[in-house]
């Protein structure tokens, strides 16, 4: 592998960084706690000749860390270039010497194209690698997983886009779809109360959150009009492949207890999802709609029994925690609006947003370090 040479191991690297950057700075701890070289190995196959032929490229882990900074601090890629050039903790985290210039935003664009060219599987491997490293650092995942979806508005001026469509032109984001956020009770001028649908144009991210750690363990993206419940089985299968609960934790659980409990809101109350959890021997805490409990036939008995179970009560007790995570993603990491256009590019944004959130949780658990919210100071 012939990557660009850097001065981070010279006077312009370690000596100056050690003298200036506090040992407990979030980016310093993040650089040293995570084995970023493992990401390099996973990304090399997207380089011509695996970086062994042609001009020496930047080590892909440098560009990967630049993207992490962009999502951690919610800054644009042009702002990112300036931050890497003039902010020493950022430059140290990225892996450059003090006297080196940042890769420009066009280099970062080519890197993203490599990631997108590998499809969703490439992003999933990077996402999973951070989970693997969390386990190696001693993060212990809990028994309860919370599944839910959050919406993101498309990067579109709706009025202008409608004007384009009237002229027979295609939407600037052909993958974005109208979806319903929730139903809201509204009172009109006469005092009458009626239900109004709150809609959005954009995308959804379906995710599985570990309640104990606050780490998002799996995710999938879709256009905004898709039914949440259909994505539930694939998220559970992704979690199972990660083997979140170690053997010693599983042995502590009683034989009659389910290994992992899945908690969801009413949007996932589908007979197929309940059956899926039963077949996988997993705990069921999918919130049951009231009509199931008020039936006049005997079928309601199984639903009443479910709502009275310990697994159901445990799951629904903590389900609210996923809403906090979604709120954090939108308030501090710009996830309320899509950065790019197309579902494929939105998938990149979703993965890096939640990887940034996961990195924050991992360092909070393992090192007691928290990322200070707010813009990067130069």
Instruction: Give pLDDT tens digits for 73-88.
Output: 999 888 999 999 999 9
**Cα end-to-end distance, the chain, whole Å:** 34
Q: Percent of the chain beyond pLDDT 90?
A: 58
DSSP state of 337: B
pLDDT of residue 175 exceeding 90:
yes
Quote the tokens at residue 232. Answer: 């539930």
Residue 11, pLDDT > 70, answer no
Please report the sign of the dihedral spanned by the C-alpha atoms of residue 57, residue 59, residue 64, residue 65: negative
pLDDT at 44 (0 to 100): 78
The whole-number pLDDT of residue 359 equals 97
* pTM of the predicted model as reported, rounded to 2 decimal places: 0.90
Are the beta carbons of 171 and 223 closer than 8 angstroms?
no
Q: What local confidence, expressed as pLDDT, does residue 135 receive?
A: 95
Does the pLDDT of residue 70 top 50, yes or no?
yes
Q: What are the structure tokens assigned to 99, written together?
A: 């006297």
Report, as an integer, the average pLDDT of 353-375: 90
* Per-residue pLDDT at 361 exceeds 50: yes
Instruction: Answer yes or no: is pLDDT of 253 > 80.
Output: no
Q: What is the mean pLDDT of the chain?
A: 87
- Given this model, what pLDDT does residue 52 score? 56
Q: Tell me, what's the pLDDT at 7?
A: 63
Q: Is the pLDDT of residue 4 over 70?
A: no
Residue of 150, 220, 214 whose CA lies nearest to 179 = 150
Burial category of 142 from C-beta neighbours within 10 Å (exposed 0-12, middle 13-18, buried 19 and up): middle
Say what the alpha-carbon torsion angle 354, 359, 364, 368 is, to the nearest 10 degrees. Answer: -160
More confident residue, 124 or 376: 124
> Could you give the CA distance from residue 58 to residue 35 in angstroms, rounded to a whole number?
17
Alpha helices in 5-99 (DSSP H): 16-20, 26-33, 37-43, 60-72, 77-86, 88-94
- The string of pLDDT tens digits covering residues 189-226 is 777 777 777 889 999 999 999 999 999 999 999 999 99
* pLDDT value of position 376: 63
Indicate the pLDDT class of residue 138, thresholds 50, 70 and 90.
very high
Coil, helix or strand for 181? Answer: strand
Angle between the 105-117 and 119-136 helix axes, to the nearest 10 degrees? 100
pLDDT value of position 193: 76
Average pLDDT over residues 91-97: 91
Angle at 220 between CA 214 and CA 221, to 5 degrees: 115
Which pLDDT score, from 0 to 100, does residue 258 have? 61
pLDDT of residue 378: 45
**Model pLDDT, residue 42:** 82
pLDDT of amino acid 15 = 77
């Amino acid at each position: 592998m012939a990557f660009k040479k850097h001065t981070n191991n010279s006077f312009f690297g370690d000596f100056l960084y050690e003298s200036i950057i506090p040992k407990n700075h979030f980016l310093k701890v993040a650089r040293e706690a995570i084995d970023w070289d493992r990401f390099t190995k996973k990304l090399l196959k997207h380089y011509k000749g695996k970086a062994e032929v042609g001009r020496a490229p930047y080590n892909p882990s440098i560009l990967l860390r630049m993207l992490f900074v962009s999502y951690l601090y919610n800054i644009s890629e042009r702002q990112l270039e300036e931050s890497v050039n003039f902010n020493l903790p950022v430059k140290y985290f990225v892996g450059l010497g003090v006297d080196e210039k940042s890769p420009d935003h066009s280099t970062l664009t080519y890197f993203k194209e490599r990631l997108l060219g590998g499809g969703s599987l490439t992003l999933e491997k990077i996402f999973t690698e951070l989970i693997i490293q969390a386990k190696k650092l001693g993060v212990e995942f809990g028994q309860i997983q919370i599944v839910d979806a959050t919406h993101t508005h498309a990067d579109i001026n709706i009025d202008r886009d409608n004007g384009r469509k009237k002229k027979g032109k295609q939407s600037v984001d052909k993958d974005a779809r109208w979806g319903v956020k929730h139903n809201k009770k509204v009172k009109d001028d006469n005092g009458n109360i009626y239900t109004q649908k709150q809609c959005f144009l954009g995308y959804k991210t379906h995710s599985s959150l570990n309640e104990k750690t606050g780490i998002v363990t799996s995710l999938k993206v879709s256009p905004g009009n898709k039914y949440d419940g259909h994505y539930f089985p694939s998220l559970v299968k992704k979690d199972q492949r990660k083997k979140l609960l170690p053997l010693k934790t599983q042995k502590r659980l009683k034989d009659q207890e389910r290994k992992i409990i899945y908690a969801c809101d009413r949007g996932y109350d589908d007979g197929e999802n309940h059956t899926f959890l039963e077949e996988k021997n997993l705990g069921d805490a999918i919130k049951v709609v009231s009509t199931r409990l008020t039936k006049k036939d005997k079928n309601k008995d199984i639903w009443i029994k479910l709502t009275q179970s310990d697994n159901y009560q445990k799951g629904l007790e903590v389900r609210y925690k996923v809403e906090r995570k979604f709120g954090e993603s939108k308030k501090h990491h710009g996830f309320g609006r899509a950065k790019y256009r197309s579902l494929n590019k939105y998938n990149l944004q979703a993965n890096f947003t939640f990887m940034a959130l996961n990195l924050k949780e991992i360092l909070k658990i393992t090192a007691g370090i928290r990322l200070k919210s707010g813009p990067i100071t130069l």
